[in-house]
A and B are shown apart, each in its own frame.
Chain A
Amino acid sequence: MSYLEFLGQYGDRILSGTLVTIVLTVLAAVLAVAIAVAAGLMRLSRNALIRGVATVYIEIFRGTSLLVQLYWIFFVLPLFGITLEKFTAGFVAVGMNLGAYGAELVRGAILSVPKGQWEAALALNMSPAKRMYRVILPQAVLIMLPPWGNLLIELLKGTALVSLIAVADLMFQVKQINGTTFLSAQSFGTALIIYYVLARFLLTPFMRWLERFMQRKLGRA
């Protein structure tokens, strides 16, 4: 079977798997950003308990394997009465894991905004919350966008693990195709190329665009 015939026969399944991977990536990314901002801010709280909760969260999710976390969320949580549908479990696990890494990016970016900005905001008598979201966060966003680009590529690649709980993503589809055809080079080769294209020609240009957009919005361009 030529590669073209292979694509003709299995293209539909590969395409549907790719779409699932894209949707998973988007949902996990949204969750990761939300968790990262929340946990990153909590890490900077003056309250030791709030700080502690965030630290424990980040330690657990960065210190253990994403696959184990995925299995916990899908297989173990039901024992405690929390049952998630496999697709949901998939993006929740990836989002929570990458959110823990993102929290450190958020925290680092906030800390790298010059101290003078905090002081000027305080001298204007701004409340702590306003200082954060009117003055510091907009500047921190610009600082953390480039590392977020890398993190989101990690996130995209991480979604491949959800195939192990039978979510029909790209990886799951090519494994199935390989299982019935034994055309490993074609199956996994195609997956390799698609993941690369998604990362290199969708995600990276999107982040570049976002950086330029924010720079213009914040008057840096």
Chain B
Amino acid sequence: MNAQDLSAFPMALQGDNVPMVSFKNVTKSYGSLVVLDALDLDVAEGEMVTIIGPSGSGKTTVLRMLMTLETINEGVIYVDGEPLTHMPNGNGLVPANRSHLRKMRSKIGMCFQHFNLFPHMTALENCMEGPVHVLGLSKKEARERSEELLALVGMAEKRDQHPSRLSGGQQQRVAIARAMAMRPKVMLFDEVTSALDPEVIGEVTNVIRKLVAEHNLTMLMVTHQMGFAKDISDRVCFFYGGRIEEQGTPDELFGNPRRERTQQFLSAVKEAV
């Protein structure tokens, strides 16, 4: 990777209304394939932003870069005002070291399309794993916190089951509780209902609705469920070819899309339903 010129990027975002998440001129490519093309994206604290778009448009990549699962080729991502994978050094930014990365990661939680629960742990143990072994909470505290969250997602009764005994919808709800147990400021949801049978999608979307209503979380969600996106988001971003083709409130974007590609995508999605 070429060392990029970072002098144009501030060491931290300051002032009023610093966004919780801020992509500044972020580019990601695999070889010659540009997946994110000079992306600028701000998400305010407490905001729920949904990303929609055709397959391969870079939606998952946005979330994975925020979770530090992918490296960044160009640009800087800021979370809570601080650079995510860079850190200040003297009067410039340099690639972050391990302890900076760990500090920044603690602000972010992620739920995956295929849940990725730890199969060798029960639902409760999955939720307690991070609090005990990362945050250093006592078993008792971690258990209380986890049981509360399992109750919130409606999984209190299944807390002693291993994931292999749970349905997809149940596993996903445990996965949400597991991520929440780390008390992140930003939650990322990557197509969390795509691997589910239609009849259980509602139990997961209802949990997300509850989180939106009861917690002041900043959320970034990738979904193919336009109806859900429409009634839950503060803002919807339509991605196309690694860029934001169009964004706006759900009413604007779904009710009155201005760009041709957005219109095409939305009518294609409507037909598929």
Contacts and interface: CB of A to CB of B under 8 A. Distances in A.
Interface of A: 114, 116-117, 119-127, 130, 134-135, 138-139, 142, 217-220
A135 to B, nearest CB: 6
Contacts of A114: 116
Nearest to A217: B120
Given A120-B112, A219-B164, A126 B130 contact: yes
B184 to A, nearest CB: 9
B122 A219 contact: yes
A117 B134 contact: no
Given A123-B69, A124-B182, 7 more contacts: A114-B116, A116-B112, A116-B114, A117-B116, A124-B178, A125-B130, A130-B133
B162 A220 contact: yes
Interface centre among B102, B114, B120 (most CB of A within 10 A): B120
Given A134-B129, A219-B121, A219-B164, A125 B102 contact: yes
A190 B67 CA distance: 63
B105 interface: yes
Contact of A124 (B119, B122, B129): B129
Given A130-B134, A219-B164, A125 B116 contact: no
B26 interface: no
Contacts of A127: 102, 134
Contacts of A135: 118
A139 B119 contact: yes
Interface of B: 67-69, 102, 105-106, 108-110, 112, 114, 116-122, 129-130, 133-134, 162-165, 175, 178-179, 182
Contacts of B105: 122-123, 125
A123 B110 contact: yes
The dominant DSSP class at the A interface is helix
B69 A219 contact: no
B120 A123 contact: no
Contacts of A120: 112, 116-118, 175
Contact of A219 (B68, B106, B162): B162
Contacts of B117: 120
A123 to B, nearest CB: 4
A43 B1 CA distance: 25
Nearest to B110: A123
A109 B129 CA distance: 23
B72 to A, nearest CB: 16
B69 A119 contact: yes
A139 B120 contact: yes
A217 B122 CA distance: 11
Contact of B133 (A117, A134, A142): A134
Nearest to B165: A219
Given A125-B182, A130-B133, A218 B119 contact: yes
Nearest to A126: B134
Nearest to A113: B119
A119 B120 contact: no
Contacts of B114: 116
Contact of B106 (A125, A130, A139, A217): A125
Contacts of A142: 120
Given A123-B109, A126-B133, A219 B119 contact: yes
A138 B120 contact: yes
B133 to A, nearest CB: 6
Contacts of B118: 117, 120-121, 135
Nearest to A117: B116
A114 B164 CA distance: 15
A135 B112 CA distance: 17
B120 A219 contact: yes
8 closest A-B pairs by CB: A219-B162, A120-B116, A218-B120, A116-B116, A124-B130, A123-B110, A125-B105, A138-B120
Interface centre among B109, B130, B163, B165 (most CB of A within 10 A): B130
Contacts of B164: 219-220
30 contacts: A114-B116, A116-B116, A117-B116, A120-B112, A120-B117, A122-B67, A122-B68, A122-B105, A123-B67, A123-B110, A123-B112, A124-B129, A124-B130, A124-B179, A125-B102, A125-B105, A125-B106, A125-B182, A126-B130, A134-B129, A139-B119, A218-B120, A219-B119, A219-B120, A219-B121, A219-B162, A219-B165, A220-B120, A220-B162, A220-B164
Contacts of A217: 120
